[in-house]
Structure 1
């Protein structure tokens, strides 16, 4: 299962991207390909020497494309890559990560400065939104956990005051709505896990003053990875640009894997 780390000419892919790519390659048992996307006809574009990584076969390649996301997506297809790793942390509007998450048909892992842990993947948390894509996103998270020997956690995040609770309604009404939301999300999580035959996953539904604070509140391990659906907020790019998906990505203190909702990594 090939892991593709993307970079652009004249830049380093970043230590976080290489560390995360190495962790995934070791866990998935496949090679690591570091891919540079160069403009067509760029005479200076060349494949750098492959870094030496203990226990992982590493290759460097160059592809020519006018679009960095397009070049990476094409390279991932040619290399039969299971995941693309980038250094975005977090990606913003118009970034390579945002555009690639919209167009790629494989998961996109975002490392940035968060992938400082170089040990094994110990837990996979799935951000569960309860929409029609949620079961498929959960299936990807479960598949990643099974392949890496990690435990599974399913988490839903929300703001303390929902859009249906006006401020004048009072604290008691707000608490009732939040508890109803928690009950609904936990029930949906358990049903989706049962469909996948998973019986030992942790489930949590956290509501705080903001989605970012809800993400922070559940606690995170050094060896953890968060899986988020690229369609979590409707249109694919809204997971990076708007609430609640964008807030989850921004608040995550661990590497994030954006998935289009395929049921497996391969």
Structure 2
């Protein structure tokens, strides 16, 4: 189960990306490949990387006019199960956003807070959309391979468009509770379909989706699995509403799964 870490020529592969890549390589039991994408004809300088404890590390380079396109080709050539980048949450036009469209494997974003050590928990951001079952399957697969417990979480704002301010707090609470019940029921149905009976399920509603994400406790060694829908604008990651807010706010590394593969 090869893990591919992407980097730009002449740059550090990114401490966060290398650390997350090593964590995943150990958990998945495969080698780590650090791949540099160069423009056609560009001279490649020394691309050595530091040794990583307990992981076989290989360096490689590929020519392509597009960094996401080159990484997608490299992932296919090496049979990678996941591509790791040092990106913060991907915005329009970012390498992470474009790669999520170009690759048919999950894309892991290390961010700035990645720490070394085992994966302590896998959380699936469950939105209930048409790809929810496939994204949940990817999270279940990752949890099984890493031996980490699984949590399925849905996030929402407390006041939706169907609850006007004048309706009062009681009406708002009723709507929020109905939403919680519906989401947890959908989570459990999805888990049952996958043969999983021991996962934690939770639906959190706060003033904003960002507050809901912050309100849920997170472990240092946790990984969040989120679905990335490639429909729509070419460089935009569409996670539905409130998926984009979850992606922006997550305090742990994120795995964007295209909804068609597992790890």
Interval of TM-score (by shorter of Structure 1 and Structure 2): over 0.9
- 8 Å contact from structure 1 (residues 123, 225) kept in 2: yes
Across the two proteins, how many residue pairs are aligned to each other?
263
Q: CA RMSD in A?
A: 1.8
- Which residue of the partner structure matches residue 80 of structure 1? 79
Encode CA deviations 1:107-144: one digit per residue, 9 max, x unaligned. Answer: 000002021x2110011000000111101100000000
What TM-score do the two structures reach when normalised by structure 2? 0.95
What TM-score do the two structures reach when normalised by structure 1? 0.94
Give, in whole Å, the separation in 2 of the partners of 1:150 and 1:236. 34
Structure 1 spans left out of the alignment, 5+ residues:
none
Q: Secondary structure at 2:203's aligned position in 1? A: strand
Matches within 5 A, 1:31-180: 31-43=31-43, 45-46=44-45, 48-115=47-114, 117-180=115-178
Q: Secondary structure at 1:258's aligned position in 2? A: strand
Counterpart of 1:224 (choices 202, 222, 241) is 222
Encode CA deviations 1:23-53: one digit per residue, 9 max, x unaligned. Answer: 000000000000111111102x245124211
Encode CA deviations 1:154-190: one digit per residue, 9 max, x unaligned. Answer: 0000011112222222222111111110000000001
- 8 Å contact from structure 2 (residues 106, 258) kept in 1: yes
Give, in whole Å, the separation in 1 of the partners of 2:216 and 2:234. 26
Seen in structure 2, the aligned counterparts of structure 1 residues 187 and 133 have a Cα distance that, compared at 3 Å, is same
Structure 1 stretch displaced more, 22-31 or 156-165: 156-165
Give, in whole Å, the separation in 1 of the partners of 2:234 and 2:145. 26
Seen in structure 2, the aligned counterparts of structure 1 residues 232 and 123 have a Cα distance that, compared at 3 Å, is farther
Q: Secondary structure at 1:199's aligned position in 2? A: coil
Q: Secondary structure at 1:85's aligned position in 2? A: strand
Give, in whole Å, the separation in 2 of the partners of 1:86 and 1:98. 11
- Which residue of the partner structure matches residue 202 of structure 2? 204
Give, in whole Å, the separation in 1 of the partners of 2:239 and 2:122. 23
Give, in whole Å, the separation in 2 of the partners of 1:234 and 1:262. 17
